[in-house]
Amino acid sequence: MTWQWKTIIEPFKIKSVEPLGFTVRDERLKVLEQASYNLFKIPASKVLIDLLTDSGTSAMSAEQWAGIMRGDESYAGARSFFVFEKAVQDVTGYKEVIPTHQGRAAERILFSIVGGKGKCIIANSHFDTTRANAEATGAQALDLPIKEALDFEKPGLFKGDMDVLALERNLKEKGQSVSMVIMTVTNNSLGGQPVSMKNMKEVSNICKKYKIPFFIDAARFAENAYFIKLYEKGFENKTPKEIAKEMFSHADGCLMSAKKDALVNIGGFLAMNNTEWAKRAREIEILGEGFPTYGGLAGRDLEAIAQGLKEVLDEEYLNYRLKSVAYLGEGLRKHGVPIVEPPGGHAVYVNAKKFLPSIPVEKLPAQALACALYLEGGIRASEIGSLMFGKHDEKGKFIPASMELVRLAIPRRVYTQSHIDFVIEVFGEVAKKKDLIQGLRILEAPEYLGHFTAKLAPVS
Ligand X SMILES: *Cc1c(COP(=O)(O)O)cnc(C)c1O
Catalytic positions, written as ranges? 75, 127-128, 217, 219, 260, 451
CA dist., res. 81 & res. 71, Å (int): 9
Residues that bind ligand X (CB under 6 A): 55, 102-104, 127, 129-130, 184, 188, 217, 219, 257, 259-260, 268
Amino acid (1-letter code) at residue 157: L
The alpha carbons of the chain give a radius of gyration, in whole angstroms, of 22
| Chain residue whose CB lies nearest ligand X | 103
8 burial (CB, 10 Å; 0-12 / 13-18 / 19+) is middle
3-state helix/strand/coil string of 416-452: CHHHHHHHHHHHHHHHHCHHHCCEEEEEECCCCCHHH
Question: Smallest distance from the beta carbon of 409 to ligand X, in angstroms?
Answer: 10
Interhelix angle 299-311/62-70, rounded to 10 degrees, is: 150
Question: Smallest distance from the beta carbon of 406 to ligand X, in angstroms?
Answer: 18
Question: Smallest distance from the beta carbon of 96 to ligand X, in angstroms?
Answer: 19
Q: 131 or 413: whose CB is closer to ligand X?
A: 131
Q: 190 or 313: whose CB is closer to ligand X?
A: 190
230: number of CA atoms within 13 Å, CB side? 19
Question: Smallest distance from the beta carbon of 362 to ligand X, in angstroms?
Answer: 29
Q: 97 or 219: whose CB is closer to ligand X?
A: 219
- How would you label 309-318 residue by residue, b for 16+ Cβ within 10 Å and e otherwise? bbbbbbbebb
Q: Are 113 and 178 in contact (CB under 8 A)?
A: no
Question: Smallest distance from the beta carbon of 103 to ligand X, in angstroms?
Answer: 2
DSSP 3-state of 403? coil
Quote the distance between the C-alpha of residue 152 and its chain's center.
18
DSSP 3-state of 26? helix
